[in-house]
Amino acid sequence: PAPMQQPDFAGLESHQLARLAAAKKARAPAPVAAALDAIKAAAEGAGALMPAIVVAVRARATIGEISDTLRVAWGQYRT
């Protein structure tokens, strides 16, 4: 069998970070902030959560931003 090369993880990381920065720069910040606020309100019991998440994704919020918002509302489980 042919030897497998190790991926360039540092290069992959820097490429993804650059893509993330470009995506955040290209989006409108106000709709993202409003959508994340709506997620927080829904997570705290003020409405349906999934429609708020869909709005946030359409506003170009990242999975990390959505997850962080839910962690703020609910906390984080620790064993």
Give the type of residue at 21: A
Whether residue 73 contacts residue 47, with contact meaning beta carbons closer than 8 Å, is answered with no
What are the b/e assignments for 45-60, b being 16+ CB within 10 Å? eeeebeebbebbeebb
Whose tokens are 């992959």? That residue is 12
Give the type of residue at 36: L
* Paired tokens of 43: 């997570």
pLDDT per residue of the chain (79 residues) written in tens, 0 to 9: 888 888 899 999 999 999 999 999 999 999 999 999 999 999 999 889 999 999 999 999 999 999 999 999 999 988 8
Give me the pLDDT at residue 18, please: 97
Q: Considering the chain, what percentage of its residues have pLDDT values greater than 90?
A: 85
**Cβ atoms within 10 Å of 39's Cβ, excluding its own:** 25
pTM of the model as a whole: 0.83
Give me the pLDDT at residue 44, please: 94
